[in-house]
Amino acid sequence: MTQKTVQVAIPFESLIDVISSLNLEDKRKLWQMLDEEISQAEEDLLEEDPTVVAEIEAARIAYKNGDYQSIDEYIASRLGKNPNFVFETQMKADERR
């Protein structure tokens, strides 16, 4: 069985009226669906943005060339400490358990 698609033009004001008449549970379902749709649309736009694409490519090249910082090194630099500080601190915490 094939499915047929029907497009319906609904004036925006009518749509607002219908949404206003929904109960709270249905409004939350609609909100969740819209949030997911908006998030996906924003993600798709970012993936097509030439600036973002260029930044990702530059990061990949830097990583390939070994020009990156581990998360422990980054955290340590933000704390102004030795890069091994985070790792050593974690090991000490694990030993106490």
**36 within a domain of the structure (yes/no):** yes
**5 within a domain of the structure (yes/no):** no
SS3 26: helix
Is 58 within 8 Å of 47 (Cβ atoms)? no
Q: What is the pLDDT of residues 13-62, one digit of tens each?
A: 999 999 999 999 999 999 999 999 999 999 999 888 999 899 989 989 98
Report the pLDDT value the prediction gives residue 85, as an integer from 0 to 100: 54
**26 within a domain of the structure (yes/no):** yes
Co-location of 62 and 18 in the same domain: yes
**3 within a domain of the structure (yes/no):** no
Co-location of 19 and 58 in the same domain: yes
Co-location of 49 and 84 in the same domain: no
**54 within a domain of the structure (yes/no):** yes
Cα 27 to Cα 20: distance, rounded to the nearest angstrom: 8
Instruction: Indicate if the pLDDT at residue 89 is higher than 60.
Output: no
Structure tokens at 23: 């109960």
Q: Which residues constitute the domain of residue 82?
A: 67-97
pLDDT band at 92 (very low <50, low <70, confident <90, very high): low
What is the value of pTM for the model shown?
Answer: 0.48
**38 within a domain of the structure (yes/no):** yes
* Residue that has been written with the tokens 């020009």 in this structure: 67
Top-confidence residue, 80 or 83 = 80
